[in-house]
């Protein structure tokens, strides 16, 4: 069965070129995926120049990256709104965007609605680790969480880990400044107790220094902390790879040594490369909406399409609805 994905072709720092290139690569690699490029036709290729499984849907305007989300009310013909509306109308199974995260969240909330029992949507990603990866959420949708929302995100994170990591009973931890139960703010202490009694596979508090250990499957935090952790890690990875290249090429002896360890270095670089992760699913809304980094290139978009296909085929949204209902809907 084919999966239909609407891509906001105008969203992102490298749009539309990177979005179009990534879509074409993904469509060529998987003939069963149907991709709809949503955007201004005069800035997109003619359909006859595209693969048979890539089409164009017109959207007259664009929500700029720094534009107020309030303007979305007046821009119902923007690419992110039109792409999300296609999901609502059943003309697409999912939407992908590298544009304004605020506009994408607002479009999803207004058109797809919240999953019953979930008060605020969150964004998750696969954080690289020595064991493959862990689900980290929230990474930017909510600067703060109340106590109940930590539990909601733990439940959503459980479903995400089952779909993205193929783990049947994921372990769940709360990101904190210590492993002891009493550590952290009053809100985190309360959240710890709530998670402990939840029936989830909660293993306690988790320190940031252990994030890449892979010892837990789901790490729950607020969006401010999660976003800071993610961007700090991206910066450290770039710096580490840059310093390593510089030092290993400094002398002939080091260059010889570098040749010997090159396979391992390439594997390390791949592990730290966020571009290969793809996108970050928006959790808690009634349809599949995948958020991509604003600087996403064609490689990232291709990976996001593949990830979105897998999420759809795993019945990701129905599973979230069912799990949320069992916990929060009475």
User: Does residue 230 belong to any structural domain of this protein?
Assistant: yes
Q: Kindly state whether residues 13 and 75 are assigned to the same domain.
A: yes
What pLDDT is attached to residue 315?
Answer: 94
Q: Within a domain: residue 327?
A: no
163 and 303 in a single domain? The answer is no
Tell me the average pLDDT across 110-130.
92
pLDDT given for residue 274 in this prediction: 63
Give the pLDDT score at 13: 93
- Average pLDDT in the 302-314 region? 94
In a domain, residue 41? The reply is yes
* 128 plus 243 within the same structural domain: yes
Do 208 and 259 belong to one domain? yes
**Domain annotation covers residue 328:** no
Judgement on whether residues 104 and 176 belong to the same structural domain of the protein: no
SS3 string, the chain, reads: CCEEEEEECCCCCCCCHHHHHHHHHHHHHCCCEEEEEEECHHHCCCHHHCCCCEEEEECCECCCCCCCHHHHHCCCCEHHHHHHHHHHCCCCCEEEECCCHHHHHHHHHHHCCECCCCCCCEEEEEECCCCCCEEEECCCCCCCCCHHHHHHHHHHHHHHHHHHCCCCCCCEEEEECCCCCCCCCHHHHHHHHHHHCCCCCEEEEEEHHHHHHCCCCEEECCHHHHHHHHHHHHHHHHHHHHHHHHHHCCCHHHHHHHHHHHHHHHHHHHHHCHHHCCCEEEECECCEEEECCCCCCHHHHHHHHHHHHHHHHCCHHHHHHHHHHHHHCC
322 found inside a domain:
no
pLDDT, position 267: 67
Please give the mean pLDDT across all residues of the chain. Answer: 90
Region 232-246: what's the mean pLDDT? Answer: 79
Quick: pLDDT tens for 138-188.
Answer: 998 889 999 999 999 999 999 999 999 999 999 999 999 998 988 889 999
Chain segment 252-294, per-residue pLDDT in tens: 877 777 777 667 666 666 666 666 678 999 999 999 999 998 8
Q: Which residue has the higher pLDDT, 6 or 229?
A: 6
Do 52 and 28 belong to one domain? yes
Which domain does 123 fall in, by range?
119-277
Give the pLDDT score at 270. Answer: 64
> What is the model's pTM?
0.89
Q: What pLDDT does 268 receive?
A: 63
In this structure, the answer to whether residues 113 and 128 fall within a common structural domain is no
* pLDDT at 153 (0 to 100): 97
Q: Residue 238 belongs to a domain with what CATH number?
A: 3.40.718.10
Q: Does residue 76 have a pLDDT over 90?
A: yes
* Domain identity same for 140 and 267: yes
User: For the chain, how many structural domains are there in total?
Assistant: 2
What pLDDT score does 297 carry?
Answer: 93
Domain match, 22 and 42 both? yes
Same domain for 241 and 144, yes or no, is yes
291 and 267 both lie in a single domain: no
Does any domain span residue 330?
no
Q: Is residue 7 part of a domain?
A: yes
8 and 106 fall within a common domain? yes
Domain for residue 329, yes or no? Answer: no
Lowest mean pLDDT among 13-17, 100-104, 157-161, 326-330: 326-330
């Amino acid at each position: 069965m084919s999966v239909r994905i609407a891509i906001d072709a105008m969203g992102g720092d490298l749009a539309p070129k990177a979005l179009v290139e990534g879509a074409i690569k993904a469509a060529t690699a998987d003939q069963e995926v149907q991709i709809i490029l949503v955007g201004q036709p005069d800035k997109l290729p003619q359909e006859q120049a595209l693969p048979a499984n890539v089409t164009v849907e017109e959207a007259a305007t664009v929500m700029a990256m720094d534009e107020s989300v309030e303007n979305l009310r007046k821009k119902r013909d923007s690419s992110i709104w039109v792409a999300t509306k296609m999901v609502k109308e059943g003309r697409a199974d999912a939407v992908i965007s590298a544009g304004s995260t605020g506009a994408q969240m607002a479009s999803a909330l207004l058109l797809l609605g919240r999953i019953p029992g979930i008060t605020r949507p969150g964004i998750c990603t696969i954080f690289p680790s020595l064991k493959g990866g862990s689900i980290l959420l929230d990474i930017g949708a909510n600067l703060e969480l109340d106590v109940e929302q930590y539990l909601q995100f733990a439940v959503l994170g459980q479903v995400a880990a089952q779909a993205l990591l193929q783990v049947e009973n994921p372990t769940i931890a709360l990101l904190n400044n210590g492993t002891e139960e009493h550590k952290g703010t009053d809100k985190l202490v309360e959240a710890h107790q709530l998670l402990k009694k939840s029936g989830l596979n909660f293993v306690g508090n988790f320190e940031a220094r252990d994030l890449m250990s892979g010892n837990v499957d789901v790490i729950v935090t607020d969006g401010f902390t999660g976003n800071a952790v993610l961007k700090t890690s991206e910066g450290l990875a770039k710096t580490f790879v840059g310093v390593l290249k510089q030092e290993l090429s400094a002398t002939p002896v080091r260059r010889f040594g570098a040749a010997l360890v090159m396979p391992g270095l390439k594997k390390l670089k791949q592990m730290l490369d966020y571009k290969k992760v793809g996108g970050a699913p928006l959790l808690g809304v009634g349809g599949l909406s995948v958020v991509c980094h604003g600087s996403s290139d064609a490689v990232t978009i291709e990976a996001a399409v593949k990830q979105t296909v897998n999420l759809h085929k795993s019945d990701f949204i129905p599973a979230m609805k069912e799990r949320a209902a069992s916990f929060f809907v009475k």
